Structure 1
Amino acid sequence: MEWYAEGLAAGVDPASPERWPRLDEHDQAKVEAASVALVLHLTRPWLWDRLPPRVREQVVDWLAPAVGAAYPPINWVWFQLVTEQFLASVGGPYAEEDIEAGLALARTFERDGGWYADGAERSYDHYNGWALHLYPLLWSEMAGRAPDPAYLARLERFLDDAVHLVGADGSPLVQGRGLTYRFAAAAPFWAGARAGVGSPGLLRRAASGIVRHFAERGAPDRDGVLTLGWHGPWRGIAQDYSGPGPPYWAAKGLLGLSLPAGHPVWTAVEEPLPVETGDFTRVVRAPGWLVSGTRADGIVRVVNHGTDHARPGARLADAPLYARLGYSTATFPLLSGDPLDQSVAVLDEDGRASHRTGFTAGPVSALPSGTLVGSSRWRARWGEQGPGPDHGHSRPGGDLRDGPEVEVVSAVRGAWELRFARLPVEAGGTPVEAGGLRSEPDALGPPPAGRLRLGGWPAPEGGPVTRVVGGPGLTERGVAVAATPLAARTLVPWCATPGPAEPGRWYTAAILLGEGGDPPAVNGNAITWPDGAADEIPLPGPAAGQRG
């Protein structure tokens, strides 16, 4: 504690050469201030209560600019709440109106099933657990209030989904920004244990499995440092606010150490994760996810028809960590370039792939057989993210070109997804506006514009099997090789139409990650799966010129 006290004293001393940026000098300090406030609360008898009066005064002075300050209307609202609540607990300045307004704003983030959106957009990611569920619990403790029963019920529902999103090897779902926080993904499980919500043995299995996953794969490194990266260093994973400090949000994944040795989360027998007990499928409605876990390979997959960190109709390029059609515990999306992995894209005259951000989300549901079905529809657009800071999500592009509409229906069972894709036609049979696409190939030029390409899972070479089996009309195929934080050689299979896609026609491809056996058999919208189950997939109504 003396070591921490020394660092704290230097950080808040305006005359120290090692002083920290103030909250009114740099917005990122508002994030770090909340962590400082939480730690001072959790360790109060051993740290705050033993600080010299002058250091306490300087801590208060350093935190005080939070009062009345502007915070983005996202998970940051909790940074102001816990900072001001700590100030109130030590006799410092605070504003009751800030606290009441912050609590009211946080309630607007609530979504179905105990989930939160990180703001007004379709922003669903690990911030649900390591911020939007964790901070309310700790704030209520700081305020001397019992946790709101409605909050506890939401936490319990969320944790029931969250334990289904951890792979058997302890990997959390690789999706969303802030991934360099790594085992901070364990935070909601410790929050559940702290609040007395959920099964202690299952919560410990999930949390300790996530921490162990990284500890056994190079994080921290040989020097004991958490670098910017995933397992090892990987600079491309960072957002514009990332520096040497942010990886230490991982500390939230060790919150269980604040619980005494006799707590049930430490004394209970560990229970296996859902993916370790058998195959499962699960609909998570708020983010629009179809979740499938398979015991044979321990992989959890998410097919995404509801999350893009944007709003319907937004004219934005894709954010790779949000707008892909699939994420898993065993793959890492390609972080640069136009969409390839887990995409349905229209290729323009230069062979560039279209983006899907701003899609219209369709329903997600489970058929009586247990097969999951979901859909989305969007206007294909070409272009790049606009200039400016990268917070891990889309930025408005300066020169996006509109193309045709694209519609996708997914059927998910086991390790397979059967993906239906088409370029819809209007009610009168007229192809949807093609945005200047060339419809005739140039024998001496590039491949014809308007081709439809379906990309599969980006699996590490030597890792789980990744495969795309194209149906009629998807006769072109290949495998792209790229680098990701999981492997220098990551394989992305794909299939495509040889020429412009026929408007109104449903094209199908079977997409595999892991151990799945033979591909499903398809006849129109009827599917026979490798396990013998048979389904008829409800597709949107017939369109002029539609073919199977």
Structure 2
Amino acid sequence: MNTNASFRQYCETYFARLVWGFAKSLDDTGVRSWLNGHFNQKDFGGAADMATRIFPALCAWLSDKQRPRQVVFKGERVDVEGLVRKIFENAFDPKCAGYWAGDGRPYNQFVVESSVIGYGAWLVRDTVWPTLSESVKKNFAAWMEEFGKEAVRNNWQLFLICNHAARRALGLPFDQRTIDEAWAYINTLERGDGFMTDGPEGHFDDYQWWVFGTHEMFYLQMMGGVDKVLDERVRTRLRKRLEAFPYMFGADGSYTEYGRSLTYKFGRLGSPVLGYALGLWPHSGGMLQRLVRRHLEHYDNVGAIDRATHTIRQEVGAHGHADVRESYINTGHPYWAMHAFSALWQVPAEDAFWTGGDAMLPVEEGDFRRAVPAAGWLFAGAKATGHVLRYTMGTHHGAGSMQSKYAKFVYSSHFPMNIAAVEGDYGPDAALCLTDGVRWTHPTVYDKFAVDARWVRATYTLKIADHDVAVETVLAPLGDGEWHVRVHKLVVPVDGLKAVEGGLTLGYDSAEHVTKYVDALTSSVSGANNRGQRHSLIHGVRGYDRAVMPQAWRGRDRVNLVYLAAITPMLEATLRTGANVLVCVAHATRAHNHHAPKPQAIVTVDVTWEKDGTVMVTSPEGELRVPGLIYSYV
């Protein structure tokens, strides 16, 4: 796409491209799609959720009576209204071959989809909906009722709320008690600064944006004014939550990718854009314009949209590993990303968001630290490189296949994680791992934690064989945040265990030249691509035996979230029975040209772990006091 086009032209072309890809993927019923990718049972008979998830974006486009009913891509016209009408007419008709039938089990996937189908129908309440036949509306109402009965007690309760709110707004039968009970539960999930835990305690991730941050607003649109106390509570927490949003992005629109469902990609834009349309966005419209465009460009640049079919991949990019998808992600699931467009087309064409200039992102304005204590996150931004890092040890969601997505120490806009396991084990990039020479363990769940504007601290257990190793870790960003100190205390029950710890992994593509370096206690790797030179380093200060030559995780190149290959600098330490203290510094940076970053002296630090649990860190910045942990989630 032409990156010199106006912002609105750019967004319209992006949208038309994705609508064209959707239309080309449809079967004859117009409600199921045949896509390449990694299949699960939701793909049997054709994926329905490509249509369900693009539906509200199509409806938002049609909600404006002055907007064309068609879009054009590659010289071909696509009838947007025709696509929407076919969904109304066929998807809910039990006699249609493509009928979206449930599988008879509770908590069916269509509970999720019903929320966005209902919202989409509400968006066209003044355009398409009035022209539908009574039989079509009757089928729609019956289908919505079938999938509006029960839901898992987490963010799914918002799907019930939106299902019934849409039915109410459209004049269809609904159950107010279901709405009230679901809201009573959802409100128990609220934590500090407007952030929501997703059901169980300590489950914080991008569901802040692509369910809590959208569906709460859908309700406000469809039922706002019915319960003014509830409305104000929801509005207040949305404003608070959105204050942190732009601090999570690099200057080039890249994101500090973290958590599950990352295959939804730019869907996270739906929350701030709809928030802007509803007067809830707490920053400037110019900043949001810049953020939206750069984030869309970022995913296009890494190949998130297939260049041949113009459909959204399950992977984050063309070379990213498929392990980004969870077991529930089928080929149509990535179209949750279209929430970005269901929000964009609700901003009036004459609004300054479209017609005005853009404004700098936080990381372009200056270095920053931004803590989200409830979630255990500390964001650090480096103006000189546009790099943002998410320091985190607050998750209860990192067990099993979620280890790489939640339990690493730091997640970066410029150095995406190694997401895939090799032989069932997750690598040591940005993590402290243990091995006994046969078995391997990676952090999973953090028990107690605390976050300040200058540090993150947590306790956790590393389990290996029959042994539990109690660990307490302090992370302290230095300077602009690209340097950080790690301090660990491990209480080890037996001799013979080894700690392996990695810096941030450096992902690279096949044409990129990579330089590796190692000495006694320093391991580093540099690489150059068309976006500049990058460098990652880790240096042992205390307790480590040696540095390890940077290498791929167990010799497997393709494990990264974005890149074709990845190399991680590492340290090793032999542990003894009893208390072991390890101290290291790590650094990750990117220059804006093809020259290597200027050599930097390794930051000198001194650390004291005092008897009361206080950790004192002395660096060129001065002295930092990190108090002992005195609280947990409850």
Q: TM-score range by the shorter chain?
A: 0.7 to 0.9
Residue 282 of structure 1: SS of its match in structure 2? strand
Note the 1:272-283 alignment, pairs <5 A.
272-283=360-371
The one-character-per-residue Cα deviations of 1:5-38 (angstroms, maximum 9, x if unpaired) are 1133221111111111338557111111111111
User: Which residue of the other structure, out of 116, 124, 129, is the alignment partner of 1:35?
Assistant: 116
Q: What TM-score do you get using the length of structure 1 for normalisation? A: 0.84
Structure 2 vs 1, CA of residues 97 and 514 (structure 1 numbering), >3 Å: closer, same or farther?
same
Contact 1:23-1:62 at 8 Å conserved across structures: no
Which letter does structure 2 place at the counterpart of 1:358?
A: V
Q: Aligned letter for 2:448?
A: A
Q: Is residue 162 of structure 1 aligned with residue 245 of structure 2?
A: yes
Report the identity percentage: 23
Q: What is the Cα deviation at residue 401 of structure 1?
A: 3.8
**Structure 1 CA distance for aligned equivalents of residues 215 and 91 of structure 2:** 24
Instruction: Decide whether the 8 Å contact of 1:455 with 1:493 is kept in 2.
Output: yes
Q: Helix, strand or coil: the match of 2:406?
A: coil
Residue correspondence of structure 1 range 200-349 to structure 2 within 5 A: 200-222=285-307, 223-232=309-318, 234-254=321-341, 255-309=343-397, 319-330=403-414, 331-336=416-421, 337-349=425-437
Deviations 1:389-427, CA, capped at 9 Å, x for gaps: xxxxxxxxxxx7442211111111220110011214xxx
Distance across 1 between alignment mates of 2:441 and 2:627: 23
1:292-348 deviation line (CA, Å, top 9, x unaligned)? 1112221110111212327xxxx8676221111111212123331234122112222
Among 475, 495, 501, the residue aligned to 2:571: 495
Are positions 1:403 and 2:468 aligned together? yes
Q: Is the 8 A contact 2:376 2:392 kept in 1?
A: yes
CA separation in 2, counterparts of 1:304 and 1:181?
21
Aligned position for 1:94: 174
1:376 is matched with 458
Q: Hey, what's the Cα distance between the residues in 1 that align with 2:467 and 2:146?
A: 45
Question: For 1:126 and 1:138, how far apart are their aligned partners in 2?
Answer: 17
Contact 2:122 2:170 in 1 (8 A): no
2:545 maps to 1:475:
yes
2:589 matches 1:514: yes
Q: Does the CA contact (< 8 Å) of 2:290 and 2:358 recur in 1?
A: yes
* Partner residue in 1 for 2:506: 459
> Aligned in 2, Cα 1:527/1:415: closer, same or farther, shift over 3 Å?
same
Residue 132 of structure 1 is matched in structure 2 by 212
| SS of alignment partner, residue 319 of structure 1 | helix
* Cα offset, 1:116, TM superposition: 0.9
Aligned residues: 490
Contact kept, 8 Å, 1:423 with 1:501, in 2: the verdict is no
Moved more, 49-58 or 148-157: 148-157
SS at match of 2:350: coil
In 2 relative to 1, CA 284–33 (structure 1 residues): closer, same or farther, beyond 3 Å?
same
Cα RMSD between the aligned structures?
A: 2.3
Q: Which residue does the alignment assign to 1:393? A: none
Residue of structure 2 equivalent to 1:105: 185
Correspondence for 1:388? none
Aligned to 2:223: 143
* Aligned CA distance change for structure 1 residues 238 and 317 (closer, same or farther; 3 Å): closer
Q: Is the partner of 2:567 in helix, strand or coil?
A: strand
- Measured in 1, the distance between the counterparts of 2:577 and 2:301 equals 49
Shift of 1:257: 1.8
User: Are the aligned partners of 1:304 and 1:324 in contact in 2 as well (CA < 8 Å)?
Assistant: yes
Native 8 Å contact 1:66 1:84 kept in 2: no
Question: Are residues 451 and 211 of structure 1, via their aligned partners in 2, closer, same or farther at CA, if it must alter by over 3 Å?
Answer: same
Residue deviations 1:206-244 (CA, integer Å, cap 9, x gap):
223222211233232222111211122743221112112
Hey, what does 1:359 align to over in structure 2? 446
Instruction: Write 1 or 2 for the structure with the bigger share of helix.
Output: 2
The one-letter code of the counterpart of 1:5 is R
**TM-score, reference length from structure 2:** 0.73
Q: Quick one: distance in 1 between partners of 2:287 and 2:428?
A: 36
480 and 503 in structure 1: CA distance in 2 versus 1, 3 angstrom threshold: farther
Unaligned runs of 5+ in 2: 1-80, 509-526, 529-533, 591-596, 609-615, 630-634
Which residue pairs with 2:263 in the alignment?
Answer: 180
